Amino acid sequence: MQILFDHLAAVLARRVDSKPPGLSRRKLSAGTSLTARRASTAAKFFLFALLVHTCSSHSLAAGASTAEVLDRIQPNVVKIYGAGGFRGLEPYQSGMIVSADGHILTVFSYVLDTDQITAVLADGRRFEARLLGADPRLDVAVLKIDAAELPHFDLGEAVEVDAGTRILALSNLFGIAIGNEPASVQHGVVSVKTGLAARRGVFNSVYRGPVYVLDAATNNPGAAGGALVTRTGQLVGMIGKELRNALNHTWLNYALPIGQLRESVEAIRAGRLVAARQDEPKQKPARSLRLEMLGIVLVPDVLERTPPYVDHLRSGSPAARAGLRPDDLILLVGGRLITSCKVLNEEMEYIDFEDRIRLTVLRGGELVELDLQYSANGEE
Amino acid sequence: MKRAVIIVLLLGIATTAFGRTEQPPIIQAVLEAEAARVAVMNRAKEAVVAVFSPGGKGGGSGVVVTADGYALTNFHVVKPCGNAMKCGMADGKLYDAVIVGIDPAGDIALIKLFGRDDFPCAEPADSDLVQPGDWCFAMGNPFMLATDFQPTVTYGIVSGVHRYQYPAGTLLEYTDCIQTDASINPGNSGGPLFDARGRLIGINGRASFEKRGRVNVGVAYAVSINQIKNFMGHLRSGRIVDHATLGATVAPDEDGRVVVGDILENCDAYRRGLRYDDEVVSFGGRPISTPNDLKNVLGIFPKGWRVPLSFRRDGRRHDVLVRLAGLHTAEELLSKIKGRLLPSPKPGEKPKLKLPKIPLPGGGPKKTKLVRPRIPMPEIVKKHFQQKRGYANYYFNKLNRQRVLKAWAEQSDTADCGGAWTLAGELSGGGAYRFELTDSGARLELPSAEFQWAAGDESGASLEPPQSGGLLLALYLWRRLALLGPEQFGEVSYLGAFPVVGRKENADVLLGLHGGVECRFLFDPADGRLLAVEMFATEDADPCEVLFTEYRELNGRLLPSRMEVRHGDDLYGVFKIDANTF
């Protein structure tokens, strides 16, 4: 019987410590898988799980644990400050720390169009953040700050939830939290998990995957990049950019499931989808490709980071023949992230003039991929 | 074998736990929680008020906080109402109410309802204990729906605490407020935010709308009830209440410390030793780690309060008490509340770059033009209203002045002692002393010296005895107030509730003006005894503080037997009173 008491004590201690309930759940599955091997261990875990189950459902009903959950996970959410501050574009958004050494998951937006991105932690620590990479197809970006032992979400532990699940949304909406304040938290319920693609032409969004639609007003200015979690603090999604229904002018409150983003985050951390020339030094070819060789004329490069919009195309040029159009925004060149006119020109220097290149461009809310190749005698 | 026994035992426990046929425990718990919530809300709604302007066109919400009908609401709710308003409550009745005091910068107003002496009232909580994630609910009159006076309830969680919201328009500044995602809409203004147990944690008043139009977007702010508790005495004074300034600005240095960037030489913080580049460590009992922290804490204190400040210089920590000056001059305050307060977007107007957080209008007419309805004031309101410059309602100032003086007179009973007052005894450091106070002046005899002060020299030319800050004048004014009463003293008004060093409870403070000298009389609200006199000979100098303690009964009068005199940072002396004649 001593075992029983020991485990009761352990469970109580765990409650007092307010350790992540996610931890307990993992123990549960570990316990069941062990059943065959060691019956007594399994019995211990069974009892443990039973107690945890009753304890946690009780505390949920009482609503007492939300403050404790928040205490634990609010430090994982950061405030991000960057470009903007004109024409109704707020110069801030939200993000979540996804590694102990300072990787931050956020949305890929105009706020990141600057060399001075600042990430402010819940405890007020400020860091200069670097845009490590982005996946323009999903509108997600990963920032990096130089820090260690940070509290963070483990993307591998994110859960999928069903409609009806009660959630908390943590974000720096309206930029309310400043300095050493934790981000704001809102509560709500997942109304439905559905695809944004079904609403094509209604919502002007690059992201076309499934989303969690929420019944709370979560997607306010500055909220994008914030964390959607369950009532027990398990990561569920990332709050998306503001989206307004073009037909009825209502705003959509939604989050992107972490499962949709994980691959991109891993790719960025593995060095793909990163901004050009960030990795190992490469050899420049003897003769590089240049934009004018393809017939592409960009908008004047007047800003610190001018978004590489196509201004016009020389008629009959390789770019024109490939179907590039004025006002296209160049996002990727051969899988490399292009964040400005300057970066695009630099990236071109590493491409041999005869190589075929693939451009990913944004055209009126749609992503378009084009293959281009220069030919010395190709113009008509 | 032993293991098998344990497994069987445990499985047995498990099946009994899960196998019950009644309501599953989780559903039962939800039903119970729901029933508890309904009970809490039914109780809470009794104290909620729907505020209507006399014409019935504008209004908002409010909450009764005392059984005799004092209720809190927003300043911007009562502003269009003028001085009288109608208040509907959950009992279905409409009560007349009058303005009492206003805090325009904090957007709070105190009103008084008439018609009952047993109003249901809300119990205030300690709002500093509120945490993000706590359940809370708002009650009020959104979109003016409560035509039957039954409040609307909206439920949410606390989204953030100690939030600072920059001033909107010219004056409103929300400091240290509670952010909630409970739905707050036009008309909810001034209504209560309750915690899950139905205790009052704040007054709802503001929301972030920005480009989403004038409806809730999951972000609203409530003025914390702890801040309002600090201002309650001032609001009861019938005044237009002002917020405070430290007289110094702070900025972060390279190491992230909060240091003094600029300081006025005539402010109390400077006199207490605060200098340029000192690190501010804590203020008002709260640690300061960003300049915003200081701004946030500063907002919860009324003008004139003495607040603890800790600062560090060369590694040494200094703990002092500073008197906070007013944020505005009286003229500024008056002109600002007359100004346009509520910026209202015109229909079809495109949202500007960064709209200020717009205070919620009453929910009535879109135009915020001051409506002064020509509706006669009800008799009961007329009886409880008196106009005076600088006051929201001078009637309540007189009411409190009278209350304080009456309680004092009852226990000191000195009103008929028109002759010379003498106090004599030993100084705590040794040596006899004798004070003589008369209509024409005051005199102090010490073993080594004798000091005199003659009436007519109030302007502060001779603050006898030296280093006391004007002790003889202070005692002269004490006697003057006791004998002449408020009308003949000069000008006496009730100032509000102020903290006193070494006491938990705030003191009632009367402000006496006589011959250009400002004198504060601090009274114990519990028994009316005089706790201290603070005499300010000039505006920018330390007062002479006289603290009366160790009260004893003497010839049917309760009188102090110890008098401590302080000036600035120094103790001037402690006088033990062995003999006195009045």
- The 8-class DSSP code of residue B288 comes to -
Please report the pLDDT score of residue A240 as a whole number.
94
Q: Is B76 a catalytic residue?
A: yes
**CA A26, CA A48: separation in Å to the nearest integer?**
12
> What ipTM was assigned to the predicted interfaces of this complex?
0.77
C-alpha distances in Å from residue B478, one per residue of B107, B436, B512, B524? 36, 13, 10, 16
Which run of H or E residues covers position A299?
A: none
Q: Do B159 and A182 touch (CB under 8 A)?
A: no
B96, B107, B195, B293: which is the annotated catalytic residue? B107
**CA B142, CA B184: separation in Å to the nearest integer?**
7
Query: At A17, is the pLDDT very low, low, confident or very high (cuts 50, 70, 90)?
Result: very low
- CB nearest to B290's CB, from A46, A66, A180: A180
**Cβ-based contacts of B131 with chain A (< 8 Å):** 67, 70-71
Query: At B179, is the pLDDT very low, low, confident or very high (cuts 50, 70, 90)?
Result: very high
Nearest-CA distance A13 → chain B (Å): 21
Average pLDDT on A318-331 reads 91
Residue A32 pLDDT exceeds 60:
no
Lookup: tokens for A35 = 């059943």
**CA B69, CA B148: separation in Å to the nearest integer?**
20
Residue pair B372/B82 in contact by the 8 Å Cβ criterion = yes
Residue A226 pLDDT exceeds 80:
yes
Tell me the one-letter amino acid at B411: Q
Q: Tens digits of per-residue pLDDT, B228-255? A: 999 999 999 999 999 999 999 999 988 8
Taking phi first (over 0 means left), then psi (-120 to 50 degrees means alpha), and beta for anything else, what does residue A158 get? Answer: beta
Query: At A206, is the pLDDT very low, low, confident or very high (cuts 50, 70, 90)?
Result: confident
Please report the pLDDT score of residue B147 as a whole number.
78
Q: Tens digits of per-residue pLDDT, A274-322? A: 765 555 566 788 888 889 889 999 999 888 788 899 999 998 899 999 9
> How many percent of chain B have pLDDT more than 90?
60
Q: Is B107 a catalytic residue?
A: yes
Residue A51 pLDDT exceeds 60:
no
Please report the pLDDT score of residue A45 as a whole number.
45
Residue pair B548/B532 in contact by the 8 Å Cβ criterion = yes
Q: Does A230 contact chain B (CB < 8 Å)?
A: no
Contacts 24+ apart (CB under 8 A), A121-126: A121/A75, A121/A78, A121/A97, A121/A150, A122/A74, A122/A75, A122/A77, A122/A78, A122/A177, A122/A180, A122/A181, A122/A182, A122/A183, A123/A75, A123/A180, A124/A179, A124/A180, A124/A181, A124/B289, A124/B290
Q: Tens digits of per-residue pLDDT, B274-284? A: 999 999 999 99
Q: How many CB atoms are closer than 10 A to CB A376? A: 8
When comparing pLDDT for B581 and B432, which is higher? B432
Please report the pLDDT score of residue A201 as a whole number.
59
Residue B452 pLDDT exceeds 50:
yes
Please report the pLDDT score of residue A27 as a whole number.
34
Q: What is the mean pLDDT of chain B?
A: 86
Please report the pLDDT score of residue B48 as a whole number.
97
Query: At B416, is the pLDDT very low, low, confident or very high (cuts 50, 70, 90)?
Result: confident
**What residues of chain A, 241 to 270, have a C-beta less than 8 Å from chain B?**
251
Lookup: tokens for B287 = 């640690």
> How many percent of chain A have pLDDT more than 70?
78
Peptide bond into B465 cis (omega under 30): yes
Tell me the one-letter amino acid at B290: T
**Cβ-based contacts of A47 with chain B (< 8 Å):** 10, 13-14
Lookup: tokens for A76 = 């994982």
Q: Do B156 and A187 touch (CB under 8 A)?
A: yes
Nearest-CA distance B17 → chain A (Å): 9
Q: Does B5 contact chain A (CB < 8 Å)?
A: no
Query: At B460, is the pLDDT very low, low, confident or very high (cuts 50, 70, 90)?
Result: low
Q: Is B328 a catalytic residue?
A: no
Average pLDDT on B187-202 reads 96
Please report the pLDDT score of residue B458 as a whole number.
67
Residues 6 or more apart whose Cβ sits within 8 Å of residue B468? B544, B565, B567, B572, B573
Query: At B264, is the pLDDT very low, low, confident or very high (cuts 50, 70, 90)?
Result: very high
Q: What is the mean pLDDT of chain A?
A: 80
